[in-house]
Structure 1
């Protein structure tokens, strides 16, 4: 019998959780699952990835933060029509809505999706802090809580989440899409004006304090003081105010001509292939870093801060450093530059780490088993 699965998410903008949801929804077995995505907001860039798939996408047409009553009524009406067997929230707000809906749909299993760890909510406004407190209180009412990292599970256990309802399912990387492609990478480098003999070092991630772009930029300044053959790129978007702060820091460091702000890109496999070294400089809040897995699937050498599951993802194919240390990041990059094959690992060796451990097939097998419980 086909199970009706509804995913509830705020938006389908470029982001790790959003990309992971699209990958999962498209790949679920059509014979076993009828899949719908309910999205708070319309007209998001990742919607195009669902074209020609069997996934039904419905926008709830939310009109801003305080459009709650009409939004909730529309949500209820769609769910009454679909009558899902499973309602799977992705991230905090959708998770909370599943509990509000539980009395109206008592036969629907309410599953939460947790995508981060060590989330420092005191860095955010009162609304985010309130949501975090509500999530802690209401977690016991969820039927199942899927966490994408071991670090995330440990962190949420300390916040009072029920251990008996939590399982870890790591992200799945689409290794057919993300694979070595020097030609595609060369085209992106040409677009950015990067010569073949220039070392291109990149950070892929939204412009958010948790990604710690300042540490990346300070390390870039240290490297530029020693070498002329390095260039840097930041791929991702964020708030205009924070972007201005980062651009000002770049200018203050005297490296504006060495840093490319690429914004959001839809051709991420080509972007990863353009890099010589990929960096994850996150200071906190990560769960399972998609960008690390995707870069490694393209055979790119990676350096990550020791946050969440990053060290577990990299294994012995890259370098792990303490967070918030430009000096440690600089030393790690220099170690890569000086060693054409780190630990004797070729591009294919690096890729194989992901193919073996974090394939979409493994994600599907574990998620489908959770849905069929």
Structure 2
């Protein structure tokens, strides 16, 4: 007799640019197994990663085509109808809105197991609107009714347990990096550096992140201004998209710091492995919110050492292959870059090789899929 497939449904607001969205893609790619039927449902249509999911042969993808924040009753009707049609054994929410919606579906599908996905750690709620704050409070109240909560960082677990989330229902599963895509590539390194006009003698320090106050581009720019006073061979690049008004603020700051000829501003690109390969040092400057920053793992998988602020699980990810600094401290960041440049000179290619080895050993996509399936099996 053929064994019935376990129906897994992943619910997310939208498959737009972001670390959680990239991770849901990596996870479902790794769930190509004969005993599971995988479906991804997004509240809103479109997004950078929607095509990636739609093209996976073993994954069904549906959008509920929500029209906006106030499209409530018709949207909820479509959601309930879709879930009754899919009849998932497990519904796995990603991020607060989807997590709360998972619980609201329980009366309609009482045998369905509910799993939450939480991706953040320490939050600065002053940076968010009333709906984000409300969703967090709803999660605090509703968490006791969930079968399982998957958090992608130890820092995130500690933060949420301290705010009343049930520790007994939480399991930490780190993000997974596709180490077959994010690989060292000398040809791609040279191609991108040539596009940007970076010579072999220059050292390139990069910051890959959406343009968002959480990412703290200001500290990156002030640290760059400090270091360029004594290092003429340094260039910098910021890669990412964001609101035009915030981008304009950062460009104005770049001019005030006299960095216009030393820094490159690049929109988000589809050839991100090549972007990482072009760097000599990758940087994360966030001062709150991060759980498991994908950009650190992706850069390390490409053999690029990292300097990161002490947010989320950054220190755990880089291990002894990188440098961790205080957040919002340009002087500390500039000194860390100097230290990393010296380490690159002393250790040579072995530093990048050890960084990649750490990702392949601890944080590759296959481990993400296995750890997630193991956790889901326990609630079935």
Please, which runs of 5 or more residues in structure 1 have no aligned partner? none
Aligned-residue offset at 1:342: 5.8
332-341 or 69-78, larger mean C-alpha shift: 332-341
Which position in structure 1 is the counterpart of 2:224?
220
How far apart are the structure 1 equivalents of 2:354 and 2:168? Answer: 37
Output the TM-score relative to the length of structure 2.
Answer: 0.95
CA-based RMSD: 1.4
Aligned-residue offset at 1:122: 2.3
How far apart are the structure 1 equivalents of 2:137 and 2:345? Answer: 47
Aligned-residue offset at 1:43: 2.2
Which position in structure 1 is the counterpart of 2:235?
231
Which position in structure 1 is the counterpart of 2:30?
27
Structure 1 residue 14 corresponds to structure 2 residue 17:
yes
How far apart are the structure 1 equivalents of 2:193 and 2:65? Answer: 39
Please, which runs of 5 or more residues in structure 2 have no aligned partner? none
Which position in structure 2 is the counterpart of 1:317?
321
The runs of 4+ residues in structure 1 deviating greater than 4 Å are: 341-344
Which position in structure 2 is the counterpart of 1:331?
335
Give per-residue Cα distances to partners, 1:131-162, cap 9 Å, x unaligned: 11111111111111000000000000011000
Give per-residue Cα distances to partners, 1:160-214, cap 9 Å, x unaligned: 0001110000111111111101111211112222222221111111111111111
How far apart are the structure 2 equivalents of 1:257 and 1:60? Answer: 46
Q: Helix, strand or coil for the counterpart of 1:336?
A: helix
Aligned-residue offset at 1:331: 0.5
Q: Is the 8 A contact 2:29 2:56 kept in 1?
A: no
How far apart are the structure 2 equivalents of 1:93 and 1:257? Answer: 42
Which position in structure 1 is the counterpart of 2:40?
37
How far apart are the structure 1 equivalents of 2:68 and 2:248? Answer: 24
Which position in structure 2 is the counterpart of 1:370?
375
Aligned-residue offset at 1:327: 0.3
How far apart are the structure 1 equivalents of 2:287 and 2:357? Answer: 27
Aligned-residue offset at 1:341: 4.8
How far apart are the structure 2 equivalents of 1:359 and 1:242? Answer: 34
Output the TM-score relative to the length of structure 1.
Answer: 0.97
Structure 1 residue 49 corresponds to structure 2 residue 62:
no
Aligned-residue offset at 1:295: 0.4
Q: Helix, strand or coil for the counterpart of 1:315?
A: helix
Q: 1:341 to 1:103 in 2, by over 3 A?
A: farther
Aligned-residue offset at 1:77: 1.1
Given candidates 232, 252, 270, the residue that maps to 2:274 is 270
Which position in structure 2 is the counterpart of 1:113?
117
Which position in structure 2 is the counterpart of 1:87?
91
Q: Is the 8 A contact 1:280 1:304 kept in 2?
A: yes
Aligned-residue offset at 1:322: 0.8
Aligned-residue offset at 1:47: 2.1
Give per-residue Cα distances to partners, 1:242-290, cap 9 Å, x unaligned: 2222122112211122222212111111111010000011101110111
Aligned-residue offset at 1:29: 3.5
